[in-house]
Structure 1
């Protein structure tokens, strides 16, 4: 066992000591059949933004748009390349490309290795970098440096940042030996989706959505969820991104549309009790980021409390920046909220996130 105590409110060990799927385990054959039974019109909707949106890095300074380039044979780029240069008399023309891609730049899944916490999993008073089900940083989730634990000066401000290089690892090496996104790919992430249209209920003003607001929206949309369902929340944010056509307005991006209030404990408890297998939104982080409520007395806290609750405690995958506008219009016209969802990430071993091209069928 990798842990002697688990975080309060977590489900570590409930799906087995070595589980790497978390709440995705709840998507079983019955949930897939329920999803398939929602196919009545035979209409499919792509729930992905173009993967070069939002454009630039105004939304997240670390993440950059994909860069496409030809593959090369020596000094020859293989785009519109006549094979007659290699095989005498050949008439073939070859185009072949590659991409440098931030895996969580646009429409994406977060894997369970995306957010962990400093937690005393051994019960000995020592904080360790820990992920869902007790998997550990620097042992199961590897990076090029050991960042060490944050230190504070006498005034409580963050102290100097002094990462220590991990011997034998390349400067850009990173790999999740456990909890990588390939686990969700193998699972398939196919089942029943339920859409709650927050934008239709509350509009697209900048606002936080807590438990009471979510319950009201679900009532207004006549939406209910059962264990194993995947819950999707439309705020209108992806539509705003799309309207900017790759030229994002940072001020507008960061002050548009609803996001969940990750500090609302009733909301977090509902997520636990609901049994949903995944939580998806069309906005940047599902929850409000940066948070609007931060303790000022030095009390330890999570900057992304909903991420910590879902990924670290429950093993509940999160989807971000999904495009839901067209699906929402179609479901509203039919008086429905449920549909068949197929959304596997890339089967890329060791990745902590992945682009996804979800397909909803109604």
Structure 2
């Protein structure tokens, strides 16, 4: 558990109701610039007691599975991201070998760190800032490791996690979509998924994962032509959860410490200006949640997690909560990291 000054103040700040926040877009831990407490962001809410309780509740069977996707699978990625390189080099005349890895974490399973995405803060001196008010020039200054991924690595991202298996829900309800489209998932739908999963309940400090089935679609349904079309398009589309105020309010007030899933960007991309509804309010405004979750709250966003085996175990056991252990790379100033994630039952 983090012990430096400001931890309790930060936790108190994250306990304020969403509608009582002075500015929901700028909830920065009140801590010294460059401190561990600042670097934890939203993870500051996870306590030792939460970890211990989650372990007692969730680890009963000894079953476990990785959530890390094969690093070679997304061999063609959008935004000009390069595939992973793995070199084996010999030592001592062939008596031993070493690995050399060259990879972009965003090309496969990864946590988006606090240095990954900025947001507009027009009242500040810079037009866009990262969490804590960090400007882009400080991210590029290699002598600074402020809000780097190393803060998450020191304690890991651990605790009770829950899976909302939208892919199974969609199949039951005959909802057809591609993960490489602008298909969106509303809050009402997520809550209905939870209800159908034995009325799954959420606890403060939970890590929320949403499965839309991207890994299965990429590996089993898409051929080389379709993969290359995605990699080279200038207008990529990613299915995911809706970016709305009601979704943000639910994340915050439920007390999620981190969110993630198997989609390319967790939320729908590109962000939508509005979402259609029925009744007297035909539409609701849209927003880009990356700007709020990362730059505003310091909340980890997991993307491209392999949730296929996890989905199978959850269905077999009839429960959709488990213990999650993730060890991000201990890289000072890191922007993102493979999750190195295991789910335990």
TM-score by length of 2: 0.78
1:249 to 210, 222, 226: 226
**In the alignment, which residue of structure 2 is the partner of 1:155?**
none
2:190 to 210, 214, 232: 214
**In the alignment, which residue of structure 2 is the partner of 1:3?**
none
8 Å CA contact 2:108–2:304 kept in 1: the answer is yes
Deviation readout 1:314-338 (Å, 9 max, x if unpaired): 1110000001111111112221111
**In the alignment, which residue of structure 2 is the partner of 1:47?**
67
8 Å CA contact 1:281–1:321 kept in 2: the answer is yes
CA gap of 1:306–1:256, structure 2 versus 1, over 3 A, is closer
1:205 to 177, 182, 204: 177
Question: Whole-Å Cα distance in 1 between the matches of residues 103 and 170 of structure 2?
Answer: 34
1:36 to 55, 60, 81: 55
Give secondary structure in 2 for the equivalent of 1:179: coil
Unaligned runs of 5+ in 1: 1-5, 71-77, 86-91, 144-173, 296-302
Give 1:136 shift.
2.1
Q: Computing the radius of gyration over CA atoms, which structure comes out larger, 1 or 2?
A: 1
2:159 matches 1:191: yes
1:225 to 180, 202, 207: 202
Larger relative helix fraction: 2
**In the alignment, which residue of structure 1 is the partner of 2:249?**
269
CA gap of 1:345–1:224, structure 2 versus 1, over 3 A, is same
CA gap of 1:176–1:197, structure 2 versus 1, over 3 A, is farther
Give secondary structure in 1 for the equivalent of 2:136: coil
Question: Whole-Å Cα distance in 1 between the matches of residues 210 and 343 of structure 2?
Answer: 14
Give secondary structure in 1 for the equivalent of 2:107: coil
Give 1:274 shift.
1.5
2:314 to 307, 327, 331: 331
1:99 to 98, 101, 107: 101
8 Å CA contact 2:118–2:130 kept in 1: the answer is yes
**In the alignment, which residue of structure 2 is the partner of 1:27?**
46
8 Å CA contact 1:182–1:348 kept in 2: the answer is yes
Question: Whole-Å Cα distance in 2 between the matches of residues 179 and 268 of structure 1?
Answer: 22
CA gap of 1:99–1:129, structure 2 versus 1, over 3 A, is same
Question: Whole-Å Cα distance in 2 between the matches of residues 270 and 53 of structure 1?
Answer: 33
Question: Whole-Å Cα distance in 2 between the matches of residues 225 and 15 of structure 1?
Answer: 27
Deviation readout 1:111-132 (Å, 9 max, x if unpaired): 011111131344xxx5433111
Question: Whole-Å Cα distance in 2 between the matches of residues 26 and 248 of structure 1?
Answer: 45
Give 1:243 shift.
2.6
8 Å CA contact 1:193–1:340 kept in 2: the answer is yes
**In the alignment, which residue of structure 1 is the partner of 2:14?**
none
Unaligned runs of 5+ in 2: 1-20, 276-285
**In the alignment, which residue of structure 2 is the partner of 1:289?**
269
Once the two structures are superposed, the pairs formed by residues 111-150 of structure 1 within 5 Å of their partners are: 111-122=113-124, 126-139=125-138, 141-142=139-140
Give secondary structure in 1 for the equivalent of 2:137: coil
CA gap of 1:22–1:67, structure 2 versus 1, over 3 A, is same
Question: Whole-Å Cα distance in 2 between the matches of residues 120 and 66 of structure 1?
Answer: 37
Which stretches of structure 1, 4 residues or more, deviate above 4 A after TM superposition?
244-248, 251-258
TM-score by length of 1: 0.74
Question: Whole-Å Cα distance in 1 between the matches of residues 318 and 26 of structure 2?
Answer: 35
User: Number of paired residues?
Assistant: 298
Give 1:278 shift.
0.4
Question: Whole-Å Cα distance in 1 between the matches of residues 114 and 287 of structure 2?
Answer: 14
Question: Whole-Å Cα distance in 2 between the matches of residues 7 and 345 of structure 1?
Answer: 32
Q: What is the RMSD computed on CA atoms of the aligned residues?
A: 2.9
Question: Whole-Å Cα distance in 1 between the matches of residues 30 and 293 of structure 2?
Answer: 15
